[in-house]
Structure 1
């Protein structure tokens, strides 16, 4: 069954749009920890700003921001909201202390 000219044109335009978006944002990295978290290599988040947002409701804000900052620097990701949403940042969610407790707030 032959492809119509309009379908072929749509396919070509879609391919060019995909390539232009991919080139604009940089390379995609897949962590070797098997989780498959995707992040853009050229984009770094502002850990201070994100951890301040994440820890704004914490009763121990300095401790929370310090732990969050360490996790953010390693994972380049902070989950949205002030708690939970760990599925967005698996690296952040899976980090533990030496005692086996969750490290990241």
Structure 2
């Protein structure tokens, strides 16, 4: 996922697994980032996301925010929703009623 200066996802790019493998044959986010920076410029900021792996909380979509402290991608569906760092989710300002 390409991030802007505010850690908002502005583009989601697909990188072949073979372009993310280090010299030991292990997948490396740093290798994938270097691959993208070689293609699109060193000034771009990227974070790995995956359809198949459940890491960084959510698959990064355009408009999602990357939270470095939680190492997670989150989406704020409405401006009034409030970020909860304990649940790593945006929540409505008024809780849903029980029942």
- State the TM-score bracket (shorter-chain normalisation): under 0.3
The structure in which a higher percent of residues are strand is 2
TM-score, normalised relative to structure 2:
0.21
Which of these two proteins has the greater Rg computed from alpha carbons?
Answer: 1
The structure in which a higher percent of residues are helix is 1
